[in-house]
């Protein structure tokens, strides 16, 4: 009797979270999946034409490959830029560490739209970057840095950099500092200590930061529209255009599910890599 009462109490405690999960996640996902198999939004029939159309349309495939490529590139650049910054914060005194952390997190207080327009000013033909390059004689005329893939990658890298730094700092803070001291006392040079001790132990942070930057870049919508221009399409923008602009809800749902499957596949790959890292650490 007591055990049965405890079960009812447990069910009562998780009931609000269960309702939220069903109403705001599971229900919309089921509706989205059903919609992707409909010929039209108000049709009762079922079809696979949306999926056939998605894989046969060269423009859609080009947009998918472009989205995956720029997400990988921006995530890779984020890791390259975030790692030395995270090491500087880690090695700093507590006062400077708090200052650097506040400095890195401060861009998150500004809207993505505002930061995107800021990059438009910097990357414009008469903007700050072109003026500096021309002042030092590196270029004779303004370089086209805006409304192309370069501007989108720069913007995505900048916007997601704080998230990657935080992920790396979490991994570096959890590392035992005595391991680096032990490596140095055994005669290892600084780069050997970094490559054989610090970097392997920080791999969970590298993977989680890279995964976070990749996932956020895959679903980015506002920034690619502003910095890429109206003709530069990514998968999220294409799904929005099909749903809101062309009222083709079934095909928009199909593109949204494709975006979800790609992100889920990357997360599954990350979990497999994380288990591998855990086994190596145990060895």
Which DSSP string corresponds to 5-20? Answer: HHHHHHHHHHHHHHHH
pTM for the model stands at: 0.85
Q: Is 257:280 a contact under the CB 8 Å cutoff?
A: no
- What is the pLDDT averaged over residues 20-25? 90
Within 10 Å of residue 114's Cβ, how many Cβ atoms? 9
Share of the chain above pLDDT 90, in %: 48
Using CA atoms in the order 63, 205, 114, 258, what is the torsion angle rounded to 10 degrees?
Answer: 20
What pLDDT is recorded for position 277?
59
Residue with tokens 């830029």: 81
The CA distance from 69 to 257, in Å, is 18
Q: Mean pLDDT of all residues in the chain?
A: 88
Within 10 Å of residue 107's Cβ, how many Cβ atoms? 15
Q: What is the pLDDT of residues 227-251, one digit of tens each?
A: 998 888 899 999 999 998 888 999 9
Q: How far is CA 48 from the centre of its chain?
A: 30
Q: Is 94:137 a contact under the CB 8 Å cutoff?
A: no
What pLDDT is recorded for position 269?
81
Q: Is 160:217 a contact under the CB 8 Å cutoff?
A: yes
Q: Is 45:128 a contact under the CB 8 Å cutoff?
A: no
Q: What is the DSSP letter of 152?
A: H
The CA distance from 269 to 283, in Å, is 21
Crossing angle for the helix pair 112-123 and 128-135, to the nearest 10 degrees? 30
Residue with tokens 């998968």: 235
């Amino acid at each position: 009797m007591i055990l049965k009462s405890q079960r009812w109490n447990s069910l009562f405690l998780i009931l609000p979270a269960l309702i939220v999960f069903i109403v705001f996640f599971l229900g919309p996902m089921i509706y989205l999946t059903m919609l992707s198999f409909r010929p039209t939004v108000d049709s009762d029939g079922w079809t696979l034409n949306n999926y056939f159309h998605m894989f046969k349309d060269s423009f859609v495939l080009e947009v998918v490959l472009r989205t995956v490529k720029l997400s990988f590139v921006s995530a890779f650049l984020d890791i390259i830029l975030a790692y030395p910054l995270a090491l500087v914060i880690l090695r700093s005194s507590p006062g400077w560490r708090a200052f650097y952390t506040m400095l890195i997190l401060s861009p998150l207080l500004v809207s993505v739209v505002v930061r995107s327009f800021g990059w438009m000013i910097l990357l414009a033909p008469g903007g700050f970057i072109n003026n500096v390059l021309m002042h030092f004689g590196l270029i004779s005329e303004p370089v086209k840095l805006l409304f192309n893939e370069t501007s989108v990658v720069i913007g995505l890298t900048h916007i997601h950099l704080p998230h990657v730094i935080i992920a790396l700092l979490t991994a570096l803070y959890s590392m035992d500092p005595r391991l680096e001291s032990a490596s140095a006392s055994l005669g290892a040079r600084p780069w050997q200590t970094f490559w054989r001790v610090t970097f392997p132990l920080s791999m969970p942070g590298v993977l989680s930061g890279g995964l976070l930057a990749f996932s956020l870049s895959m679903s980015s919508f506002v920034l690619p529209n502003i910095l890429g221009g109206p003709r530069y399409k990514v998968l999220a923008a294409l799904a929005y255009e099909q749903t809101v602009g062309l009222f083709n809800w079934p095909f928009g749902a199909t593109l949204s599910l494709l975006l979800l499957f790609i992100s889920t596949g990357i997360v599954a790959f990350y979990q497999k890599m994380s288990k591998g890292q855990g086994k190596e650490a145990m060895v």
